[in-house]
Amino acid sequence: MSSSPDTIAREVRRRRTFAIISHPDAGKSTMTEALALHARMISEAGAVHGKAGRKATVSDWMEMEKARGISVSSTALQFNYTPTGLANDDPDPSALPNVINLVDTPGHADFSEDTYRVLTAVDAAVMLIDAAKGLEPQTLKLFQVCRHRGIPVITVVNKWDRPGQTPLELIDEISERIGLTPTPLYVPVGIAGDFRGLYDRRSGKYIKFSRTAGGAKIAPEELLDAETAAATEADAWTAAVEESELLSEMGQDHDQELFLAGETSPMIFTSAMLNFGVRQLLEALVSYAPAPAGRADVDGTVREVTDPFSAVVFKVQAGMDSSHRDRLAYMRIVSGEFERGMVVTHAQTGRPFATKYAQAVFGRDRSTVDTAFPGDVVGLVNATALAPGDTLFDGPRVEFPPIGSFAPEHFATLRARTAGKYKQFRKAMDQLESEGVVQVLRNNTRGDASPVLAAVGPMQFEVVTARMLAEFTVETLLEPLGYSLARRTDENSSAELDRQRGVEVFTRTDGALLALFSDKWRLQYIEKEHPDLTLEPLVAAG
Ligand code: GDP
């Protein structure tokens, strides 16, 4: 039987659902593994098989698909974590463990619209940056989506065990480039490359770390008072204390309201490889990241977390075999309790949807889910009718607003290799577009037989051509176009834009008019020459 609203409220309070946003190589997989280690989900980091010295991590999965170049996978990792207090000095023995959901953002070569969509399923993001490299392009793109959606961001400066920038340089870079004010919770003791521990800015104490062999185990921590710290770490300690004072003078102390408003970002320094600072990240998530909250439906009415079951599908992963049998839809629960076997309603079609095969999905292992609560992510197999943005519900009807589409940066024309296949091609195109696999743009000049596909990552094109062939037996020809940038425009501006060199205007299926530009210099030139034209940046519609 379903739990009472009180039970649901309690389950919600202890949940945190977040994603890590980062540029490839910043250490997301290593951090994911370090978090799993701290939650005691795995007993040793690097337990899963080799990749360049250190072993590959649990979140590197579905290798077969990766090898075939078609991985579009997303991982949802759930673990329990019992808080021990930010400075490890005031554990609450009666505290229930927290339930942490880490939703993986596919990155690397398979960066795609799905990577962005994942961010619609989380309540907070951890922006993981490399201490030497600072903000990198993919991090910036993902950050803009967080900002647009009002998702609060915790900043993690990783690889502090290696030479890098100073804390103040990194803080300045973040403030200046993205207008987010970091409020470090700790200041590292020891410069980048000499990571000794953390100065806890709240308690004034020193958390001293010790290395373990190969960073495979949780790093032991010692909690020392200021006097002892000053005696053992000398100048490194004094520097950390002074940096902290400087930050306080500049008003860069944690402020929960400003954090939730997306203006400030609690900052932590870590070495995912040595497992330094990982516990502090978990503590920050538990202490500051928001618990799941109700969500407004299409009419603006809020479905509260204690209301009957509802969920939003944020990602659909199609099996590449033609039998469709393993199509997995990931839903984020918005309200109520989910019980496997429930028959829920698919809001978009009004049809019932049986949830007999609900799964928690992580790595290669899939385990059956029996119950789940708001904030949790559940995979549904056989989900042929479901598309990203769709709503499932039980009890009173609800439909959440669509996810919208994101700024594409890759463009290509697609057509059937043989004219005789045009009908199937058209049908397949509609199907794949409605599943959110790719955006489709059209204009009169190009006609319907060769629409323009628009994607966030080029991997989306490969998925389209592979599925065209496997599921619809249509061989296609893909031709990349020399555009790299899209802006939203309007009817009044489109004629003038069409006259410009290096620009083409299209209508997207949702009705939006998009102007494509060869590069940002072309765009800047046209903006300068024709300041009256409407050219708005795209992040997410809807
Ligand atoms: P991802 O691409 O963001 O998932 O990054 P990975 O977790 O695969 O890490 C990229 C590389 O950086 C690997 O060689 C890791 O061993 C290394 N790495 C990750 N975290 C750290 C860290 O804290 N310190 C050091 N020195 N290396 C790290």
pTM: 0.90
Interval between CA 83 and ligand 1 midpoint (Å):
26
Interval between CA 47 and ligand 1 midpoint (Å):
15
Q: Are residues 144 and 216 in the same domain?
A: yes
- Among 109-118, 286-295, 299-308, 443-452, the minimum mean pLDDT is found in 109-118
326 is in an annotated binding site: no
Token pair of 427 as six digits: 């049908």
Q: What is the mean pLDDT of residues 385-400?
A: 95
**pLDDT at site 471:** 86
410 is in an annotated binding site: no
97 is in an annotated binding site: no
CA angle, 389 then 331 then 312, to 5°: 40
Ligand 1 pocket member 54 (CB < 6 A) = yes
**pLDDT at site 464:** 92
| pLDDT at residue 71 greater than cutoff 80 | no
- The chain-wide mean pLDDT, for the chain, equals 87
Q: Are residues 158 and 210 in the same domain?
A: yes
Q: Are residues 247 and 318 in the same domain?
A: no
Q: Does some domain include residue 402?
A: no
Helical (H) or strand (E) element with 28: helix 28-38
Q: Does some domain include residue 3?
A: no
Name the domain boundary from 288, 323, 340. Answer: 288
Q: Are residues 459 and 382 in the same domain?
A: no
286-325: b (≥16 Cβ within 10 Å) or e: bbbbbbbebbebeeeeebbbbbebbbbbbbbbbbbeeeee
Q: How far apart are CA 284 and CA 85, in angstroms?
A: 9
Ligand 1 pocket member 22 (CB < 6 A) = yes
Ligand 1 pocket member 496 (CB < 6 A) = no
Q: How far apart are CA 517 and CA 501, in angstroms?
A: 9
Residue 87 phi/psi, 5-degree rounding, is: -105, 15
**pLDDT at site 355:** 84
Interval between CA 127 and ligand 1 midpoint (Å):
15
Q: Are residues 300 and 240 in the same domain?
A: no
Q: Does some domain include residue 235?
A: yes
Ligand 1, atom 19: closest residue by C-alpha: 27
**DSSP alpha helix (H) spans, 95-162:** 113-117, 137-149
Q: How far apart are CA 368 and CA 438, in angstroms?
A: 30
- Closest ligand 1 atom, residue 270 Cα: 23
Ligand 1 pocket member 25 (CB < 6 A) = yes
Max CA distance (Å), the chain = 82
Q: Which of 21, 22, 25 to mutate to test the pocket of ligand 1 (most atoms within 8 A of CB)?
A: 25
Residue-range definition of the domain harbouring residue 142? 14-43+78-86+95-288
Interval between CA 85 and ligand 1 midpoint (Å):
27
Q: Does some domain include residue 67?
A: no
Interval between CA 177 and ligand 1 midpoint (Å):
24
The CATH number covering residue 366 comes to 2.40.30.10
Q: Does some domain include residue 469?
A: yes
Q: Are residues 331 and 354 in the same domain?
A: yes
| pLDDT at residue 304 greater than cutoff 60 | yes
Ligand 1, atom 10: closest residue by C-alpha: 25
Query: What count of Cα atoms within 13 Å lies in the side-chain half-sphere of residue 256?
Result: 7
| pLDDT at residue 54 greater than cutoff 80 | no
% the chain with pLDDT above 90: 68
Q: Count how many domains the chain has.
A: 3
| pLDDT at residue 239 greater than cutoff 70 | yes
Ligand 1 pocket member 273 (CB < 6 A) = yes
Q: Are residues 26 and 149 in the same domain?
A: yes
The CATH number covering residue 521 comes to 3.30.70.3280
Q: What is the mean pLDDT of residues 16-25?
A: 95
Ligand 1 pocket member 332 (CB < 6 A) = no
Q: Are residues 270 and 318 in the same domain?
A: no
Ligand 1, atom 20: closest residue by C-alpha: 27
Q: How far apart are CA 159 and CA 269, in angstroms?
A: 8
Ligand 1, atom 6: closest residue by C-alpha: 27
Q: How far apart are CA 30 and CA 46, in angstroms?
A: 9
Name the domain boundary from 365, 393, 421. Answer: 393
User: Which phi-psi region, left, alpha or beta, contains residue 472 (left: φ > 0; alpha: ψ -120 to 50)?
Assistant: alpha
264 is in an annotated binding site: no
Q: Does some domain include residue 5?
A: no
Q: What is the mean pLDDT of residues 87-110?
A: 73
Res. 83 pLDDT band, cuts 50 70 90: confident
Ligand 1 pocket member 28 (CB < 6 A) = yes
ipTM: 0.99
Q: Which of 20, 273, 276 to mutate to test the pocket of ligand 1 (most atoms within 8 A of CB)?
A: 273
From the list 163, 130, 125, 158, the residue with the least C-alpha distance to 144 is: 125
Ligand 1 pocket member 211 (CB < 6 A) = no
Res. 326 pLDDT band, cuts 50 70 90: low
Q: How far apart are CA 69 and CA 203, in angstroms?
A: 49
| pLDDT at residue 136 greater than cutoff 70 | yes
Q: Does some domain include residue 243?
A: yes
Q: Are residues 279 and 383 in the same domain?
A: no
Interval between CA 64 and ligand 1 midpoint (Å):
22
Res. 419 pLDDT band, cuts 50 70 90: confident
38 is in an annotated binding site: no
Ligand 1, atom 11: closest residue by C-alpha: 25
Assign 461 to helix, strand or coil. Answer: helix
Contact 511, 441 (CB under 8 A): no
Res. 434 pLDDT band, cuts 50 70 90: confident
Q: Does some domain include residue 51?
A: no
Token pair of 209 as six digits: 């770390």
- Closest ligand 1 atom, residue 31 Cα: 7
Name the domain boundary from 271, 288, 305. Answer: 288
Q: Are residues 111 and 226 in the same domain?
A: yes
Interval between CA 29 and ligand 1 midpoint (Å):
7
The CATH number covering residue 127 comes to 3.40.50.300
Q: Are residues 348 and 202 in the same domain?
A: no
pLDDT tens string 490-542:
999 999 999 999 999 999 998 999 999 999 999 999 999 999 999 999 875 44
**pLDDT at site 540:** 59
Q: Are residues 283 and 299 in the same domain?
A: no
How far, in Å, are 31, 62, 128, 158 from residue 25 at the CA level? 11, 19, 10, 11
Q: Which amino acid is at 83?
A: P
| pLDDT at residue 57 greater than cutoff 80 | no
